Structure 1
C-alpha cells in the first residue's frame, strides 16, 4: 500500500482521508497528523471544564448551504443527516440573512462531530500533537519531520493547514514552489477573531429568547449563541453555554495581544449587551489567528500540486472558499489530483 500523510485534522483533511479510502480502498494506508490536542480544526468543539455544563463550538457555528451546493453536494449532506450528525437549524438566529433555496444545519453533538464522522469513515491512523516542521524529498518518497523530533517517510503528502503555516515549513518545499505558485499563496489572507465560551451551572437562566444573534451595535462583539439551544435541546442536568465571537476589526486590532489580556475587554462589552447574565462557572477564551479566508488563491482551483512524483498537494478553504462546501470542493479536487498518481504506485517500503 502507498502511505499517504494528510497534515491537518480539520474538515478538508478528514474529508480527503475519507474520499481517498473510498476511492482506493486497500491501496492506501492513510495517516493524519494534527498539531492540536483534538480533531476538528476550525470546526472544534470544546469540552466544558465542569461536567455540569454543555460543550461549546468555539469555531464554526452552523452549516449553510446554497441551493446549488445543496444539490451538487447532496450525497455529503444526505450522509451526515442519515448518520444524525446534521439536523436542520430550527432555533431562531437573529440577523441571519435568508437565502433563496438555501438550507441551514446544526450539529447536535457539536461541530467537531462532522470531522470525526469523516475520520471514522476513513479508517485513518490519527496522531494528535504532531506538529510538522519540515518536508524533504527522498527519491520517490517524502521524509516528514515533527517539532517534537523524529521523522517518517510517506509516498504522498497532503497539506491542509492554513497557507501561512504551509509557507513556514522548512526543507524542500520552498525551492519546489514555482514563482507563480509563491505569488498565488502570498495573496491569501485571513480574518482573525477571538471566541469566548461561558459555562453556566444547571440552574442558570440567561434571560434571552433567541438561540443565536448577530450583533450590529458593537465594535467588539459580532455574534452570540446559546450553544445548547442552537443545537436543538440541552442534555438534562447540564447548564447552558454561551459562545461569543468578536468582530473582525476587533480581532485584528488585538491579534498580537495575549488572550488573557483581551478576555476582560470582551466580557465588559458582553456585560453591556446582556447585563442580566448570571455568573458563569468558568470561561474559556480562544484566539483564531486564521478564522476565515478573506482572499483565496486566485481562481479558486481547489488544490495546488507542488510536485507530481512523489505527490505533494495543498488543499483547504484557502484554495476555494471558507465554508463547508468550500472544503468539500477542495477535498474533491485533491482526490482528483491524487487518485491517478496513487493507483498502482510502488510503496516506500515502510
Structure 2
C-alpha cells in the first residue's frame, strides 16, 4: 500500500467545492490528505464571480449572485459559518435602499464588501488545497482503486476520491467510465435536473460619474411591454450595494440581470447578439445613464436550479470504491445555505476513505 497521502479532486471552484474542501480539511485535522481543486475559469467563484474591469478606475461588479439571503432557521443552524464570514469582514448585513423587493418573513440578507467571489475565496484559502485554474475535466477513467481524471487542456492525474460540483449537464457530458458506474435510476434523476438561464450585463463608469438613480438595488417585477417583458429584472449600483463610502478615485458600476423567460429565449444566442437588446432596454428604463467606459456581458447558461435532483439529500454517490460523488445546489437549492447543506452531507463519506 502506498505511503503517500490520499488525493482528493474537487471539480469546480465554486461555493460548494470551496466549502467542501475547507470542511474536509477541518474534519481531518492533522491527518494528511492532498486536496486538489480544478476549475475551467481563470479564477474562483463559479456563479458567485466578481468581475474586475481592465480599467482600475471603475468599481468591480458581481456578475452572478448579488447577495446572500438566509431564512431564520438557516441563520440559526448555520450560525457558525455566518459568524465566521462576518468576523473576517467577508460579509456584512445588507443595509442599502432596495426598491421593488417583495416582502419576506424573517431572515437576514448579507452583502460581500469585496465582491461575492470573496466568500468562495475565503473557504478555498482555508482549505489549503492546490488550486488549478483553466483546468477543465473532460473524462474519468476507473483504474482499480483510483480515478484517472483527464483535462481538456491536456494531462490530468490519479485520485483516490473525486467530487464533481459542476452543473449536472456538464457531469453527464464527461467521457470515460462515468456512464458505466451510474445506475439507470441515477441517470434518470440527473437527467431530470433543470436550470434557468440568464444574462448579466455590467457597465463601468469613470470617476465622478452620476448614474442618476436614488437606489442601490432595484427589482423590476411589474412591467410588461410585449417582447420587452422581463428583459431586465434586477439592477444594482456599486459601491452603493455595499453601503460603503464611495472611493472618489473609482467610478461606479451598474449590473443588470435579465429575467428567466428572456434567458430561455436567447440562451443559444451569442453574447454579441444579446448585448444590444439589453442595452436598448436599459436605455429605456434609465435614460439618464452616462456613457460607460467599458461593458461586460456574461451568459449564465446554468443560472439557478429550477428542478433539483429528486430524492437526494445533498449529493449523489456514483461509486463507493473508488469514491465518486456529485453534489451542489442541484441536489438541494440555489443559495448559500443549499450549497452548505450539500457540502456538509458528504463529509463522512470522504473522511471514511481517507
Q: State the secondary structure of the residue aligned to 1:239.
A: coil
Cα distance in 1 for residues equivalent to 2:210 and 2:166: 39
Q: How does 1:72-111 map to 2 (within 5 A)?
A: 72-111=77-116
Are 1:149 and 2:154 an aligned pair?
A: yes
Q: Residues of 2 paired with 1:45 and 1:226: CA distance?
A: 14
| TM-score, normalised with respect to structure 1 | 0.96
2:248 paired with 1:236: yes
Q: Deviations over 1:213-259 (max 9, x none)?
A: 00121421000100311012233310000001001000111111100
Count of residues in correspondence between the two structures: 342
Residue 323 (structure 2) aligns with: 311
Q: 1:21 aligns with which of 25, 36, 43?
A: 25
Q: 1:174 deviation in Å?
A: 0.5
Query: Any idea what SS the aligned residue of 1:53 has?
Result: coil
SS at match of 2:326: strand
**Residue of 5, 14, 22 corresponding to 2:9:** 5
CA contact (8 A) 2:6 2:34 kept: yes
Distance 1:272 1:68 in 2: 41
Higher alpha-carbon deviation: 230-239 or 163-172: 230-239
Unaligned runs of 5+ in 2: 224-228
What is aligned with 1:345? none
Give a deviation string over 1:22-48, Cα, whole Å, max 9, x none: 011333110000001111000000001
User: Are the equivalent residues in 2 in contact too, given 1:160–1:314 (CA < 8 A)?
Assistant: yes
Q: Which residue of 2 aligns with 1:169?
A: 174
Identify which of 267, 270, 285 aligns with 1:258. 270
1:30 matched to 2:42? The reply is no
CA RMSD between the two structures: 0.9
In the TM superposition, what are the counterparts of 1:295-334 in structure 2 within 5 Å? 295-334=307-346
**TM-score if structure 2 supplies the norm length?**
0.95
- CA drift at 1:96: 2.0
1:44 and 2:49 correspond? yes
* Contact 1:57/1:227, CA 8 A, preserved across alignment: no
Q: In the alignment, does 2:225 pair up with 1:221?
A: no
Show the counterpart of 1:284: 296
- 126, 130, 136: which one pairs with 1:125? 130
Question: Which string of whole-angstrom CA distances, capped at 9 and with x for unpartnered residues, describes residues 73-120 of structure 1?
Answer: 111100000100000000111122332220000000000000000000
| 1:27 partner SS | coil
- Segment drifting more, 67-76 vs 292-301: 292-301
Q: What residue is the counterpart of 1:62 in the other structure?
A: 67
Q: Give the 3-state SS of the residue equivalent to 2:109 in structure 1.
A: strand
Paired residues of 1:163 and 1:188 also in contact (CA < 8 A) = yes
> How far apart, CA to CA, are the structure 2 residues paired with 1:236 and 1:71?
38
Structure 2 Cα separation of the partners of residues 336 and 294 of structure 1: 28
Shift, 1:309, TM fit:
1.1
Question: In the TM superposition, what is the alpha-carbon distance from 1:149 to its structure 2 partner?
Answer: 1.2
Deviations 1:176-224 (A, max 9, x none): 1101100110100000000000000011101111111001214210001
Of the three residues 160, 179, 182, the one matched with 2:184 is 179
- Matched residue SS, 1:257: coil
2:278 pairs with 1:273: no
Instruction: Give the SS at the match of 1:242.
Output: strand
